[in-house]
């Protein structure tokens, strides 16, 4: 059996996105800035895509700027806000569990003279509005807190945090790359100034994203050139990409209530199944959680070997210890929620979608259970006789559910 359960990494292109994109990859190849027929087609489609994305997010079309993906949107939001608000001050507040697209950008800004406050999170990965309020200073230019975490699925109280930030006069950005298309996201209801999204996380194509910039907020251009995207992000527009992103998002939003209910019910079954494995712990918030996110740590197991073992039986999954740079450092998110290094190494993330059938869910539970047991049999950290780890690593006591 083949089970794709790494939907937080990327999702397959939806049928709607594929069909919407095809004409712009073939016949309607025109440059959306040119004046003749085939180009006007492209310009019309781009305009329609912007309207669709705006409608899906509760925004106005002129507040949507297409970008080259989530990383680009995050970079633009942070660097742009830092520059735009330079006169106010150079203090930026963000959290310890952000994606590297935010964290590394903040570190870069730190080297450029900004002062960065990294807020800690609690054991479920939550940041509180009170923490943000306490961190705000007269020279705070920007607060950036993600809407939902990509590893542990925790959904942050963004509406409250945005309100605290904006009442103070600072700009508020949220990285909503994992949230858009998976939970309701309305920029007006959330009250954010800036919001990042990426097409491939909800069935759109890769390499295209968007940044929502609230009307009245002025960011400097990200790319200088021919003046595309109302002068802020130059470069011939990726019409097929924008059209595909919009089609995927429109479909995701239209089917959201049913999809969320279905996926959350299947997630509950997997969480229930994997919680039966001894010395396992669900990471992230059990309730304020993305519908498709199942993230666990298993003591006396290497997450990397679980992922490889699962690959051998056709299951695509990921581990917080598997880093894109090839290093085996445990994930910064798992350390931030207080897991000991040794335990954080044993992490596994499954992210399911509506495409995963009930049979696949059964298979996932069965295979993870088998592979954890097999890895432990070979591990020096596991006592096969007592069926327990040879050593516990919890400085503050083992959590109740282990």
- The interface region with ligand PLP, picked from 68-76, 104-112, 125-133, 246-254 by CB under 6 A, is 68-76
The stretch among 66-74, 81-89, 308-316, 375-383 that binds ligand PLP (CB under 6 A) is 66-74
Please list the helix, strand and coil fractions of the chain in percent, rounded to the nearest 5, in that order: 40, 15, 45
Among 16, 175, 229, 285, interactor with ligand PLP by CB under 6 A: 175
316 is catalytic: no
Q: From residue 116, how far is each of 105, 274, 362, 390 by CA, in Å?
A: 11, 38, 45, 40
Is 292 a residue that touches ligand PLP (CB under 6 A)? no
Contacts with ligand PLP, 206-245, as mask; x by CB under 6 A: ---x------------------------------------
Q: φ and ψ at 379, to 5 degrees?
A: -95, 135
Which among 200, 197, 186 is positioned nearest to 77, based on CA atoms? Answer: 197
Smallest distance from the beta carbon of 380 to ligand PLP, in angstroms?
33
Provide the CB-side half-sphere exposure for 215 (13 A, CA): 7
**Nearest approach, Cβ of 8 to ligand PLP (angstroms)?**
6
- Taking CB under 6 A as the binding criterion, the range among 52-60, 173-181, 212-220, 264-272 that sits at the site for ligand PLP is 173-181
Neighbours of 30 (CB within 10 A): 19
Catalytically annotated residue among 9, 25, 118, 323? 323
Among 17, 81, 106, 146, binds ligand PLP (CB under 6 A): 146
Of 146, 138, 67, 68, nearest to 336 (Cα)? Answer: 146
CB 252 within 8 A of CB 353: no
Rounded CA gap, 191 and 177, in Å? 17
Stretch that binds ligand PLP, among 13-21, 29-37, 65-73, 107-115 (CB under 6 A): 65-73
Q: Is 69 in the site for ligand PLP (CB under 6 A)?
A: yes
Cβ 209 to ligand PLP shortest distance, Å? 6
Tell me: does residue 71 bind ligand PLP (CB under 6 A).
yes
Sign of torsion, CA 68 69 71 74?
positive
Could you tell me the smallest distance in angstroms from the CB atom of residue 281 to ligand PLP? 22
* Nearest residue (CB) to ligand PLP, 71 versus 94: 71
Task: Verify binding: residue 198, ligand PLP, rule CB under 6 A.
Answer: yes
Stretch that binds ligand PLP, among 64-72, 268-276, 314-322, 340-348 (CB under 6 A): 64-72
46/229 Cα distance (integer angstroms): 11
**Residue 101 interacts with ligand PLP (CB under 6 A)?**
yes
Asked if 99 interacts with ligand PLP (CB under 6 A), we say: yes
CA 193 → CA 12, 18, 170, 211, 295, distances in Å? 30, 31, 10, 10, 30
As a whole number of angstroms, the distance between CA 241 and CA 172 comes to 27
Contacts of 116 (CB under 8 A, 6+ apart): 92, 93, 94, 106, 107, 109, 110
How many chain residues bind ligand PLP (CB under 6 A)? 13
Residue 65: closest CA among 245, 252, 255: 245
Nearer to ligand PLP, 21 or 208 (CB): 208
- The least CB distance from residue 146 to ligand PLP, in Å, is 6
Interaxial angle between packed helices 256-275 and 358-377, expressed in degrees from 0 to 180 and rounded to the nearest 10: 30
Residue 177 near ligand PLP by CB under 6 A: yes
DSSP of 154-218, one letter per residue? BBP-HHHHHHHHHHHT-EEEEE-TTTBTTB---HHHHT-SEEEEEGGGTTS-TT-EEEEE-TT--
**Least CB distance from residue 375 to ligand PLP, whole Å?**
26
**349 touches ligand PLP (CB under 6 A):** no
Kindly report the number of other CB atoms within 10 A of residue 366's CB atom.
Answer: 12
- By beta-carbon proximity to ligand PLP, the closer residue of 300 and 348 is 348
**Is 195 a residue that touches ligand PLP (CB under 6 A)?**
no
The residues, ordered by sequence, that sit 6+ positions from 366 with a Cβ below 8 Å of its Cβ are: none
**In the complex, minimum distance from the CB of residue 197 to ligand PLP, in angstroms, rounded to a whole number:** 9
Active site residues: 323
Residues of this chain that interact with ligand PLP (CB under 6 A) are 69-71, 74, 99, 101, 146, 150, 175, 177-178, 198, 209
């Amino acid at each position: 059996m083949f089970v794709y359960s790494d939907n937080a990494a990327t999702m397959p292109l939806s049928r709607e996105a594929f069909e919407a994109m095809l004409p712009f990859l073939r016949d309607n190849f025109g440059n959306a800035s040119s004046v003749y027929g085939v180009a006007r087609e492209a310009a019309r489609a781009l305009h329609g895509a912007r309207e669709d994305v705006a409608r899906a997010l509760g925004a106005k079309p002129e507040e949507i700027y297409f970008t080259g993906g989530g990383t680009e949107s995050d970079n633009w939001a942070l660097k742009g806000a830092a520059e735009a608000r330079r006169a106010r001050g150079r203090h930026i507040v963000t959290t310890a569990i952000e994606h590297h697209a935010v964290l590394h950008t903040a570190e870069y800004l730190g080297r450029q003279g900004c002062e960065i406050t990294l807020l800690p999170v609690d054991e479920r990965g939550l940041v509180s509005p009170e923490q943000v309020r306490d961190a705000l200073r007269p020279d705070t230019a920007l607060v950036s807190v993600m809407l939902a975490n990509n590893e542990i699925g925790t959904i942050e109280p963004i509406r409250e945090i945005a309100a605290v930030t904006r009442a103070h006069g600072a700009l508020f950005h949220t990285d909503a790359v994992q949230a858009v298309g998976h939970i309701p996201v309305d920029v007006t209801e959330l009250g954010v100034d800036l919001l990042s999204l990426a097409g491939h996380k909800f069935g759109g194509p890769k390499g295209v994203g968007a940044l929502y910039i609230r009307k009245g907020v002025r960011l400097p251009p990200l790319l200088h050139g021919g003046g595309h995207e109302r002068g802020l992000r130059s470069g011939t527009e990726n019409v097929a990409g924008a059209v595909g992103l919009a089609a995927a998002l429109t479909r995701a939003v239209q089917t959201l209530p049913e999809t969320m209910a279905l996926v959350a019910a299947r997630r509950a079954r997997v969480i229930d199944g994997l919680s039966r494995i001894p010395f396992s712990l669900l990471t992230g918030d059990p309730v304020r959680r993305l519908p498709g996110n199942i993230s666990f740590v298993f003591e006396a197991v290497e997450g990397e070997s679980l992922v490889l073992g699962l690959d051998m039986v056709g299951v695509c999954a990921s581990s917080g210890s598997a880093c894109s740079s090839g290093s085996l450092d445990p994930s910064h998110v798992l350390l931030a929620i207080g897991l000991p290094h040794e335990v954080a190494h044993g992490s596994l993330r499954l992210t399911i979608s509506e495409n995963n059938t009930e049979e696949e869910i059964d298979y996932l539970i069965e295979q993870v259970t088998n592979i954890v047991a097999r890895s432990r049999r070979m591990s020096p950290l596991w006592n096969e006789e007592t069926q327990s780890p040879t050593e516990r690593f919890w400085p503050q006591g083992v959590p109740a559910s282990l």
